[in-house]
Structure 1
Amino acid sequence: MTAGKTRSATGVPGLDEVLHGGLIAGQLYLVDGEPGAGKTTLALQYLMQGVREGEPCLYVTLGETAAELRAGAASHGWALDGVEIVELVAAESDLFGDSDLTMYHPSEVELSETTRRVLEAVERCKPRRMVLDSLSELRLLAQASLRYRRQILALKQFFVGRGCTVLFLDDRSSEGADTQLHSIAHGVIALERHVPAYGPAQRQLRITKFRGSDFISGQQDLLIRRGGLEVFPRLRPGQHGATYQRDVVPSGVPALDQLLGGGTDRGTATLLVGPAGSGKSTIAAQYAVMAAKRGGHAAIFTFEEGRKLLLDRLASLGMVAEEGIGPGKLQVRQIDAAEVLPSQFANIVRTSVETDGASVVVIDSLNGYLNAMPEERALVTQLHELLTYLNNHGVATFVVATQSGMMGSNMRNPVDTSYLADAVVLFRMYEHHGAVRKAISVIKKRSGWHEDTIRQLWFDGEGVHLGPPLMNLRGVLAGVPVEVTVRHEGEPGDDRAGRR
């Protein structure tokens, strides 16, 4: 928050965080965006927040009627009690020409009359918060850009010193952003709306100007639903963190912990990568269930597998934990990639950590996460921010990535994120003695040593099992192993030690 400047809370969840505390009171702001972007909804939320704080609020409408505004508010469950609405819409008589006007152009008279009525409403109500909707009507009345700019400057000068925070709404009817308005306003909130080829419309908010204060720059995901707008600020890992002790997070499976050099650590991210059905999700869930059994809170965010199916499958393997939020409990949340925005998901995870106290987080899988992102480059950037944030809070994070293909050298990753992870666990399917088997190995661990062996992996009603190192097979990772002669310990060529 800027010292010495009073903030005006917006009433929009997440927006005050983007603005570092809210709008600066007593200034003029432009909210622009195409029709349907959410300008009116944002403006109404701002005024209703003012009503809750006991401030007089005024909504001047030049386009919609009061009845239309109240109907739109009712769709969100709002009554607009305490908000004074002043209609300056065209009357039915305006459909016919005025033969009495001979010396002045009709637009000049209409603009002056409209401006006078706006000023009268302000003088009568003496609002602390005001919305003028919309500037496109004034632009049409002014006709000339110079006259329009002078009119806006006169309105700005009128509001200066009156202690009123003003929102001007503009629908970009001037073929794009109005740079004249941008230069006049103290701040500009731009709303964007994009309709993809398939799926719901995607909305974003961007602060393009904010005099007298810092703010979170860039595009912020925005959601409109019953109850109004909600902004999901972009994660900035450097601004978030907590003091923690780098303890080992056990899996509860001794052989698995041994493979990882004793276990994984708090404040690190582990990538589990392999083909479908190789056991990645089960191993990740093993850590979450064990964390809950040890008295911590763990959260699993699943993009593909249904919540009930996942819980039933884990129960069949003897992996049972009390569901819920808090110490000793496991939360499983199913995420619809088509409905959840990227930053919205990051904020869901943030709530799980900061509010619910999750110490183990599982993201299953990276493929579903990718479907929620607009492009691959954005995925890598946001995943880096999310993992850094989780590491700063001492969370042990497990990210599942499913490779295309089942066996052999044709395996492909959905996106290369292995360099972001502190540890990488590789899963493979291989053929042996007429059966398809699973193998697990650790190929990277930044926080300490790990075994460089390959072990067989299987599951049954008693849980997760790892066999001894597959010393007599070569080519397991290729999918079709070959039997080899095992050298005895100490003979030339023997190399079974773990790596540091």
Structure 2
Amino acid sequence: MREAETTSPVIKTGIAAFDDILGGGLTANRVYLLHGTPGSGKTTLSLQFLLEGVRQGEKVLYVTLSETRMELMAVAKSHGMVLDEVEIFELIAEEQDLDPDNQYTMFQPSEVELSVTTRRIQDEVERIKPKRVVIDSLSEVKLLAQSALRFRRQVLALKQFFVGRDCTVLFLDDKTARGEDDLQLESIAHGVISLEQLSPDYGAERRRLSITKLRGQRYRGGYHDFSIQRGGLVVYPRIIASEHLKRNDVTVMRSGIPEMDALLGGGLTSGTSVLLLGPAGIGKSSLGVQYAAEAARRGLASILFSFDERLETLFQRAEGIGIPLRTYVDQKLIEVRAIDPAEMSPGEFADKVRKAAEGENGKPVKIVVIDSLNGYLNAMPEERFLTAQLHELLTYLGHLGIITFLVVAQHGLLGNAMQTVIDTSYLADTVILFRYFETRGEVRQLISVVKKRNGRHERSIREFSLTESGIRIGEPLRRFHGLLTGTPFSMKSAEPLTVQNSTIEE
């Protein structure tokens, strides 16, 4: 967590992850602007802010100019919040105020109503002397002011009123009137917090927040995903790998398959990332599960995030090749989680990976398998951000000494014209390539290591197969050309080529 660079006290917001983004919390006795479109979570965040003050033994005040007390209580009830110790002050037009006989004639209504509204807010603050105040919302004040100049003056007057009163204030604004007024507000406030709600073409809505201004305090910039759950906002801070530098002993992870370890020049180095690249159904996920199972056999923990298949299917497939995945899950050495990309934002997913990596849900893991990157891509609201976010996540896991497997399914089945949705091969430290090839009326599989940054590896191509007794990898296929094209041809030789228990005739 970054320390606040200010001598003023810092108060908590009631959301630990949000405090982390803010650099510890909000500087006390300041005025902040919290704005966002309707439904983005402003009211919920404000209630959490006030209830944190209640937990600290402070007096708190919620001034509502738009929602009724009943509506506010309904929101709190939906989150299991109790507002008994929160002072709620309603400033909503009463029924008699709507009577035409009660309308102003000699003065502009805005002149009278705005002054009365401001005075009543000040009187209530003087009466209660709260430590925390929420004013919801400034959109109503804008309507009363009717001009940008009067609105700015009124907000400045409110800000000046709170100076020296030992009170931290949140001004809420719903962005219904965009334009110059937004900049006027942002220039007045000590800090600006922006909430956004995005609506993808398919799946649940996505929410994110950003700190666009925070005077005298270091904070984590950029967008941070969050969700609204029962209990309030759950914030997922953006991972910054450089904040998690950690020295780890370098170890070598073996697969439990001697031929696979020979392909990799002895094994995989801790803290590296591995790309398993090939067409659908060829065995990429099975190899990832094999490494997790070998780690479990040695007493090390792993976690597998499955975007593409049901957990029961994954267990059955593992059992079909002799890997007791269910047993290791029962022993809590392997955790398997099914991820629905339509219902989870990228920030939430990265947060789940981080918590698993740091052991917040149990034993720290040594292997992370993301199956597949295609599913992870579907979780991104905008494709162009995938590479940068993935790079940060892989670097972070590398700092923790974790080996990360990324499964990527390519389009197509045979030949070298297969393509991936996005090129991530340069991000990974090791790239393991899978291909189908045809020979004498049969479709077979091959495996090769085409890249390994931190050490030597075999340049050969070997046959790869899945059997009831496990993964089998044959001797190097040295007498064939064009294996990667899918239709190889043999070199002139009188000897047949033996691969494991099968023979490929020339």
Same fold by TM-score greater than 0.5 = yes
* Distance in structure 2 (CA, Å) of the matches to 1:168 and 1:421: 46
Alignment of 1:35 onto 2:38? yes
Q: Is the 8 A contact 1:13 1:230 kept in 2?
A: no
SS in 2 for 1:70: helix
Counterparts of residues 254-273 of structure 1 (less than 5 Å):
254-273=258-277
SS in 2 for 1:418: coil
Q: Is the 8 A contact 2:194 2:209 kept in 1?
A: yes
Alignment of 1:5 onto 2:8? yes
Relative to 1, partners in 2 of residues 1:486 and 1:236: Cα closer, same or farther, differing over 3 Å?
farther
Which amino acid in the other structure matches residue 420 of structure 2? N
Give 1:409 deviation, angstroms: 2.6
* Distance in structure 2 (CA, Å) of the matches to 1:131 and 1:358: 42
Q: Give a deviation string over 1:51-90, Cα, whole Å, max 9, x none.
A: 1222111100011111110011111122222111011110
Alignment of 1:193 onto 2:197? yes
Give 1:433 deviation, angstroms: 2.6
Relative to 1, partners in 2 of residues 1:476 and 1:96: Cα closer, same or farther, differing over 3 Å?
same
Give 1:45 deviation, angstroms: 1.1
Give 1:98 deviation, angstroms: 4.7
Q: Is the 8 A contact 1:261 1:450 kept in 2?
A: yes
Give 1:14 deviation, angstroms: 2.1
* Distance in structure 1 (CA, Å) of the matches to 2:461 and 2:338: 32
Which amino acid in the other structure matches residue 469 of structure 1? P
Q: Is the 8 A contact 2:211 2:221 kept in 1?
A: yes
Which amino acid in the other structure matches residue 248 of structure 1? V
> What corresponds to 1:65 in structure 2?
68
Q: Is the 8 A contact 1:33 1:191 kept in 2?
A: yes
* Distance in structure 2 (CA, Å) of the matches to 1:384 and 1:325: 32
Q: Is the 8 A contact 2:200 2:381 kept in 1?
A: no
* Distance in structure 2 (CA, Å) of the matches to 1:83 and 1:422: 54
SS in 2 for 1:425: strand
Unpaired runs of at least 5, structure 1: 489-500
Match of 1:298 among 297, 302, 320: 302
Relative to 1, partners in 2 of residues 1:121 and 1:484: Cα closer, same or farther, differing over 3 Å?
same
Q: Is the 8 A contact 2:199 2:206 kept in 1?
A: yes
Alignment of 1:157 onto 2:160? yes
Give 1:102 deviation, angstroms: 4.9
Match of 2:443 among 436, 439, 445: 436
Match of 1:330 among 309, 327, 334: 334
> What corresponds to 1:473 in structure 2?
480
Alignment of 1:280 onto 2:252? no
* Distance in structure 1 (CA, Å) of the matches to 2:431 and 2:162: 60
> What corresponds to 2:132 in structure 1?
129
Q: Give a deviation string over 1:276-303, Cα, whole Å, max 9, x none.
A: 1111100111111111111111011111
Q: How many residues align?
A: 487
Give 1:463 deviation, angstroms: 1.0
Give 1:305 deviation, angstroms: 1.4
SS in 2 for 1:352: helix
User: Structure 1 segments of 4 or more deviating over 6 A?
Assistant: none
Alignment of 1:416 onto 2:423? yes
Alignment of 1:312 onto 2:319? no
| Identity score, percent | 52
TM-score (norm. length: structure 1): 0.94
Match of 1:56 among 41, 45, 59: 59
> What corresponds to 2:20 in structure 1?
17
SS in 2 for 1:14: helix
Q: Give a deviation string over 1:364-403, Cα, whole Å, max 9, x none.
A: 1110011011233201111111111111111011111000
Q: Is the 8 A contact 1:56 1:83 kept in 2?
A: yes
Q: Give a deviation string over 1:210-257, Cα, whole Å, max 9, x none.
A: 111011111111211222111211110000132211110111111100
SS in 1 for 2:184: helix
Aligned CA RMSD, in angstroms, stands at 1.7
SS in 1 for 2:416: helix
Q: Is the 8 A contact 1:471 1:486 kept in 2?
A: no
Give 1:358 deviation, angstroms: 0.8
TM-score (norm. length: structure 2): 0.93
Match of 2:115 among 99, 112, 117: 112
SS in 2 for 1:449: coil
